[in-house]
Structure 1
Amino acid sequence: MTDTDIERAAGLSPFTGLARADWERTADELLAAVRPHAGAGDSLLQLPGPASGSGRHSDGLEGYARTFLLAAFRAAHAEECHAERVLAPYAAGLATGTDPRSPHHWPSPATTPQPKVEAASVAIGLHETRRQVWDQLPDAVRQRAADWLGGLAGTEVPRNNWVWFKAVVAAFLRSVGAPYSAADIADAIESTESWYAGDGWYADGARVPGQLTNFDHYNAWAMHLFPLWYCRISGAAAEPGLAERYRARLRAFLPDAAHLVAANGAPLFQGRSLTYRFAVAAPFFTGALFDATPLPPGLTRRAGSGILRYFLDRGATRENGLLSLGWHDRFELIRQVYSGPASPYWASLAFTGLLLPPGHPVWTAPEEQLPVERADFIRGLAAPGWLVSGTTADGVVRVVNHGADHTPADRPARDDPFYARLAYSTHTAPDLGPALNLRGDPEAHARDGDARGGQGPDNRVALIGADGSLSHRSPLRRVAFDGRAAVSRHEPHWPVPGQLDRESWPVGPSLVTASVCHGPWEVRLVAAAEAGHTVGVGGHALAAAEPPHCRTGPGHVLVTRPDGLTSGLVVLRSPAGTPTLRVQRAHGANAFGPHSATPVYEAPGTPHAVAVFLGATTGDALPPAPRAELAPGAATVRWPDGSHDTVAW
């Protein structure tokens, strides 16, 4: 950028410093970095890293399809010569990949799981580059491409956002006069209605009808984006009123989404597929593209550019310009079984903003402050059962979770650390253990999510077994939610390795947990159905390049990072008199740094009241803590500013 460009960007983008030219340059750099990894014929991009569960062949297709999305978005308003240069290898790769005689052909979506996803990316890429790519292809290649995409029709897919991959492909095939599955389209539309939870939130599928608990970032980058793209591809062939229905829901969701972005651009660390990183910026630009946003243009760019810059500044492309499997930089514990070396390139969805012309207000309006930069807030998200708190002093956004769980409510499962924790934030992550091998368990794929061994105590409320092991929470059941306080119940249990009959796993008395939030504080109230057990409560795990500083004093335990962010526990009421307070440290288990530490409370009996703190501090002192007054069936929490909240639990 020239000095003039930099000055202009600073004037329009005082928070992120990023202009449209920076997004274009980033797209060009990402595309250039993958080219050395393209095989003969440009159909497979084999990036370095561990193979996914679908295998290296499928991973090569994933590299092609996900970067084709990026190339298509980049080419939309590029100079003609630049667009041709960007798209040329993808046109060549399409000809090679769809040729069954080529040694570099693509695996079929009819026989391999992951190509079902990638087929939708190929379809969107072809739609967005119709003039430059599809219309220029020889008839034989177009026929082969239609045949390959048509292999997805009528295939079995997981009953979640994957139904839209079939519908998007069907819409593209219909648009080019090829055979398509109308049943796939009808199924996606009907299923999506059954998963809509209101207020702009979808569950990502539901194993049991009406049990909507699968809430995470897929609401943003899949459940809103792909239905609207189905309508975009379909044009006049889309079902009457469908586009406006989906636009209205995205309009309802985006204010919540804006409240989930930290001042430093960090998105919430919760849910699966987090290695997609800045894909979470996609709904902001999608809202502008489809006239489906209540957010001012400057806030749309502030959110999207903040998220992009957050990851670029923290090493996401440190490895030769490639997006690694990880969060900031490489951190392979974050990956799921379906994650391959090219999986992070679903981050390409963030570049939907490049489909907006350079003169669009999203690119020309001055950036506006995020909600967390304007004022402290408590926001209740009723659909997922989240209490969201943001504080301007440190820019942190926290979520207390009393409704989202990736386990169906009818049977116990192994806790998924991306869903089963009581709290998440933009500045912390759970300590992760290695993935468990559950291939011999017929229930595991559907019910165990991302099962892990050796999980930490962070943000867990559990019973402590005789051997010191923590009980599992999943599945949880929401009891009450009023926007400022929330209550959930779970049946503590201890999964037994190799024991497939979940009903025979050891169980403990049910635990009821209530949360009340105010500023950087959350008061956790815990009651066990029986008193003869020890209860453990963990605070947020803090991670850094160096071991965090830890200190324990009368009735409290604190963990502090070098930047001043502190995770603390303060005892408000313990039936044991003097509870055990300690710090649990881990190494190499946390996406935010190699050294992590978690404050932990343990005490027998019932009930318990603990104040959990996450925020910036100066020196060694926490701000004044809240107080809790417990009565039968209710509790009143009194805050240092004189306000109070009462919760029935």
Structure 2
Amino acid sequence: MTAPATRPTGFAARLRDLDDHVLSPHTGWTRAHWEALADHLLLSARRWASPAHAGIALPGETGGYGARIDALEGFARTFLTAAFRVAGSRGQDPHGFLERYAEGLAAGTDPESAEAWPRLHEHGQAKVEAASVALGLHLTRPWLWERLDPAVQERVVDYLSDGLDTFYPPINWLWFRVVVREFLHSVGALDDLSGVREEVATLDGFYRGDGWYADGDERSYDHYVGWAMHLYPVLWARMAAGRAEADAAAATAHERLELFLPDALGLVGGDGGPLVQGRSLTYRFAAAAPFWVGAMADAGSPGLLRRAASGVVKHFVERGAPDDDGLLTLGWYGSWRPLAQRYSGPGSPYWASKGLLGLVLPPEHPAWTAVEEPLPVEVRDTSFVVGQAGWQVSGTRADGLVRVLNHGTDHSRPGSGLSDGPLYSRLGYSTATWPVVAGDLRHRPLDQSVVLLDGAGEPSHRTGFEDGHVSLLDGGTSVGSSRWRSHWVEPDPSAPDHGSGYPDASGSPRLGPWLEAVSLLRGAWEVRLVRVAPGLGDDVVPAGLRVGGWPVTGDVVDAAAGDGAAHAVVAPAPLVEPASPVEPVETPLASVLRTADGRGAFARAGVEQLVGVTPLAGTTCVPWLATDGAPEPGRWYAAAVALAGEAPADAPEVTFPVPGVARAAWADGAVDEVVVDGR
């Protein structure tokens, strides 16, 4: 069932009364908006607190880790918001937030209390939440920690120390242990910092260059790069300021942020929408965190960083998050339970708190006083590549859309043979579209895909592909490539859902031929070149080749297919509360797919129309093209794929002037030639 359109809450309208379009010409948002949002979230969540305030059991279906973890998440993650709010206001706390969190700390760390928290050695998720508790205590130390009863302080130390020597996954979780250890050291409860140094060194090993980290040793590039791998180094260095290793780390973090932030800014849509890609998207405006980290570290223009952060948060507020009750539910704009992953519960969305980090900065900080500057996509059409993630990026000023073509990220390793995780393994993501993440097609790739079809019409998967490279040509066109062994997977339903692909239930996926894909991206258009390699004793002889286009969701305006082409135009749901009766609804979205080389290679075309497969309201339309019968091995097939907020320019045309070279002629007169054999 698709998420219903959310009803006006009145909150977005009240925020507009605070608008200042002189200081903030693009969003109107100032510090007053952020303070009002933080207060609204905290006061609304407070209604769901337990009697002793140790848990906040928010409404909704119990998460995969149980009600006690859900309540702990509700406490710890909202505590971060309260800590940011009070610390940046130099201890002013007119709503008495810290008083209630102090009561909760006393009860939650008391093993005899009916509201005692799960211990770190009892449940891994408690290790995650312990870091938020430690960070919140550090930030509010003069107003909370130092006023706690010594017996409560002792219990807090005991709670945070318990389980620190047990297993932590070698991903961003290691930062949680670093933060807890650093806090314990700061209050005289830990002398040996060798573990901190070792873990910081391990985390440094996840750095891949040019400002980009992987979240672990897999090809895991997503929002965790910004809201974890860049966030915690800066916060830890401030916690440990004065020690040589921390001061050196602060300098390194600054240097890497200056490399990362231009890419991160280029991935924000003109309407403030963040890139829809990767796990934990229900954290919503946590995507604003790296911009505040940049401001905190003095890395980047403060007016531009605030514009990006305000744009991201306003994007959600204007579309119904928080909801009528002032709550952040599991979903995107409104509540949509299928977005939950195994570790998601009703308290999980409050890691959106990370996006409120800017409140730590005092009112006189340049991040609050500088005039907003426009986002890159608001200034000009943009084109760049992220080599580490294998991404080609194109933003178009006319519609504010940012698109990413993906030839390097699948939350896996080469040859893994897993099913495709919709949020990692698609060929394309954008700031305005959602991949199919629910329903029968969740594990049967259709949107933004290149698949082989078996005799029963089942599509192959690409996770475990071999990434090629991405580059930017002199004229602004980007080029990327990847290749993979096609395989058919019957996903194991018992496998945990952490956003990545599933193993085959039998333990051995069926194998087919190798597939190669080369993408040329310019503006709204991609030229997608695909080739099937000769068979290698395959389990499956392909019966067809299919290319899937961009998924667009909303009210269907137009959808048609035929003669080697397919397209769909939708009108997305309007803003929850338009700024005025004449404010236009959301920009229409057009998804177009057509044969690009004039050779009639794709004899079949269609537009799949699906309901309830994304968190967005409406029907999801996915254009597709397919061969009529088995593809010819060694032959390059060419499709033109577009996503635009209005009818895109004429499609590019592809020719092959000599074997192994593709020539793309674009509507703006540009011509690109690339070698496609042996990439």
Q: Same fold (TM over 0.5)?
A: yes
Counterpart in 2 of 1:580?
604
Equivalent in the alignment of 2:567: 558
Residue 423 of structure 2: aligned partner: 418
Which amino acid is 2:232 matched to?
Answer: F
Measured against aligned partners, the alpha-carbon deviations of 1:421-475 in whole angstroms (never above 9, x if no partner) come to: 000000001011259xxxxxxxxxxxxxxxx855451001111111111101101
Q: 1:344-355 maps to which residues of 2 (within 5 A)?
A: 344-355=349-360
Q: 2:203 aligns with which of 186, 192, 197?
A: 192
Match of 2:236 in 1: 230
* Corresponding position of 1:439: none
Match runs of 1:380-419 below 5 Å: 380-419=385-424
Cα drift, residue 47 of structure 1: 0.6
Describe the superposition over 1:386-430 as per-residue Cα deviations: whole angstroms up to 9, x where unpaired: 000000010000000001111122421121111000000000010
> 1:10: which partner in 2?
21
Aligned-partner Cα distance in 1 for 2:450–2:35 = 45
Distance 1:199 1:352 in 2: 24
Give the one of 272, 284, 294 matched to 1:277: 284
2:154 pairs with 1:143 = yes
Letter in 2 for 1:363: W
What residue is the counterpart of 1:19 in the other structure? 30
2:551 alignment partner in structure 1: 541
Compared CA separation, residues 589 and 148, structure 1 to 2 (3 A):
same
User: In the aligned structure 2, how far is the partner of 1:238 from the partner of 1:386?
Assistant: 36
Out of 268, 272, 289, the position equivalent to 1:265 is: 272
- 2:578 alignment partner in structure 1: none
1:583-598 matches, within 5 Å, as 583-598=607-622
The DSSP-based 3-state class of the residue aligned with 1:561 is strand
Does the C-alpha gap of structure 1 residues 273 and 548 become closer, same or farther in structure 2, counting only changes over 3 Å? farther
Say if 2:485 is the partner of 1:478. no
Range with bigger deviation, 243-252 or 496-505 = 496-505
Question: What does 1:334-345 correspond to in 2, within 5 Å?
Answer: 334-345=339-350
Counterparts of 2:649 and 2:16, CA distance in 1: 43
Tell me the distance in 2 between the aligned counterparts of 1:335 and 1:192.
27
**Contact (CA 8 Å) 1:76, 1:83: kept in 2 or not?**
no
Alpha-carbon distance in structure 2 between the residues aligned to 1:391 and 1:203: 27
Check 1:175–1:83 CA distance in 2 against 1; reply closer, same or farther (3 A cut).
farther
Instruction: Kindly state the Cα deviation for residue 592 of structure 1 after the two structures are TM-superposed.
Output: 2.3
| Segment of structure 1 superposing worse, 54-63 or 174-183 | 174-183
Aligned to 1:82: 93
Alignment partners' CA distance in 2, 1:4 and 1:476: 46
**Separation in structure 1 between the aligned mates of residue 605 and residue 16 of structure 2, nearest angstrom:** 54
CA contact (8 A) 2:19 2:29 kept: no
Q: How does 1:321-470 map to 2 (within 5 A)?
A: 321-433=326-438, 453-455=442-444, 457-470=446-459
- Does the aligned pair in 1 maintain the 2:223–2:287 contact within 8 Å? yes
Q: Which runs of 5+ in 2 are unaligned?
A: 1-10, 473-477, 493-502, 536-540, 572-586
Tell me the CA shift for residue 599 of structure 1: 0.3
CA contact (8 A) 1:412 1:502 kept: no
Partner of 1:569: helix, strand, or coil?
Answer: strand
**Inter-partner Cα distance in structure 1 for 2:445 and 2:616:** 15
Q: Which residue, 108, 123, 132 being the options, matches 2:143?
A: 132
After superposition, give the CA deviation of every residue in 1:478-524 in whole Å (9 maximum; x if it has no partner).
Answer: 12322310110111101135686877321111100011111100111
Deviates more, 1:248-257 or 1:488-497: 488-497
The whole-number CA distance in structure 2 between the counterparts of 1:51 and 1:326 is 14
Contact 2:219/2:408 (CA < 8 Å) preserved in 1? yes
Greater displacement, 29-38 / 80-89:
80-89
Alpha-carbon offset, residue 646 of structure 1:
2.3
Contact 1:150 1:180 in 2 (8 A): no
Displacement of 1:67 after TM fit? Answer: 0.2
Matched position secondary structure for 1:157: coil
Instruction: Report the Cα distance in structure 2 between the residues aligned to 1:638 and 1:575, rounded to whole angstroms.
Output: 16
Cα drift, residue 348 of structure 1 = 0.5
Cα RMSD over matched residues?
2.2
The 8 Å contact of residues 67 and 348 in structure 1, kept in 2 or not, is answered as yes
- Partners in 2 of 1:184 and 1:380 — Cα distance? 36
Deviation at 1:593, TM superposition (A): 2.1
In the alignment, which residue of structure 2 is the partner of 1:616? 645
Residue from 612, 619, 626 that aligns with 2:652:
626
Q: How many residues align?
A: 622
> Aligned AA for 2:221?
F
Q: TM-score, normalised by structure 1?
A: 0.92
1:396–1:615 contact (8 Å) kept in structure 2: yes
Q: Distance in 1 between matches of 2:367 and 2:387?
A: 29
Counterpart in the other structure of 2:175: 164
1:114–1:595 distance in 2 versus 1, CA, 3 Å:
same
In the alignment, the residues of structure 2 paired with residue 128 and residue 550 of structure 1 have an alpha-carbon distance, to the nearest angstrom, of: 53
Q: Distance in 2 between matches of 1:277 and 1:261?
A: 13
Q: CA deviation at 1:187?
A: 3.5
Tell me if the contact between 2:596 and 2:654 (Cα under 8 Å) persists in the aligned partners: yes
Contact 2:57–2:74 (CA under 8 A) maintained in structure 1: yes
Contact 1:73 1:351 in 2 (8 A): yes
State the shift of 1:571 in Å: 0.7
> Superposition pairs for residues 170-249 of structure 1, below 5 Å?
170-179=181-190, 182-206=193-217, 212-237=218-243, 239=245, 241-249=248-256
Secondary structure at 1:12's aligned position in 2? coil
* Cα distance in 1 for residues equivalent to 2:456 and 2:513: 17
**Shift of residue 3, structure 1, vs aligned partner:** 12
- Bigger relative CO (Cα 8 Å, ≥ 6 apart): 2
Q: Which residue of 2 aligns with 1:487?
A: 481
Question: How far apart in 2 are the matches of 1:40 and 1:309?
Answer: 33
Percent identity over the alignment is 41
Residue number in structure 1 paired with 2:527: 523
| Aligned residue in 1 for 2:41 | 30
Q: Is the 8 A contact 2:268 2:308 kept in 1?
A: yes
Q: Distance in 1 between matches of 2:84 and 2:396?
A: 35
- Hey, what's the Cα distance between the residues in 2 that align with 1:338 and 1:184? 27
Q: CA deviation at 1:180?
A: 6.2
